[in-house]
């Protein structure tokens, strides 16, 4: 009896894991596109719109990543020379952020994209003796 229960639990776990791995091509493409954008491979336009006046407050364009925090928006962009710039904006209840992808990017529809960065294993540090 105990073996049947364990076998049934194992079968349900395997079947559930198999179903969760079956995602649509659009879901996989979206996941891979997000990874590409977070690695500065996708050009974007990020616009903040005032919800009261319907006028744009700011616009940022380039190979940018964005993050929404509790009270702010962080936009990090890679410049043509390789420099990285961050813009932090305060968040309010009457501003809408619109992020538009500016161009197409080829991503796999069926396989997950995994990114290994061996250079992140050894940190880059500065030594200060003062």
Span 84-110, average pLDDT:
85
- H-type helices in 25-124, by residue range? 25-38
Distance of alpha carbon 92 from alpha carbon 42, whole angstroms: 27
Domain locations in the chain? 1-38, 40-102
Angle of CA points 103, 105, 109, to nearest 5°: 140
Phi, psi of 81 (to 5 degrees): -80, 0
Residue 5 binned pLDDT confidence (cut-offs 50, 70, 90): very low
pLDDT at residue 75 is higher than 70: yes
The DSSP secondary-structure symbol of 120 reads G
Q: What was the pLDDT predicted at 114? A: 77
State if pTM tops 0.75.
no
């Amino acid at each position: 009896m105990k073996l049947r229960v364990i076998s049934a639990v194992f079968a349900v776990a395997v079947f559930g894991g198999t179903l969760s791995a079956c995602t649509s091509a659009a879901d996989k493409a979206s996941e891979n596109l997000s990874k590409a954008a977070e690695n500065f491979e996708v050009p974007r336009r990020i616009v903040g719109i005032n919800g009261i006046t319907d006028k744009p407050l700011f616009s940022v364009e380039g190979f940018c990543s964005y993050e929404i925090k509790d009270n702010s928006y962080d936009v990090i962009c890679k410049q043509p020379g390789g420099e990285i710039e961050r813009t932090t904006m305060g968040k309010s209840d009457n501003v809408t952020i619109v992020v538009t992808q500016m161009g197409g990017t080829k991503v796999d529809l069926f396989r997950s994209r995994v990114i290994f960065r061996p250079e992140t294993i050894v940190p880059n540090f500065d030594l200060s003796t003062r």
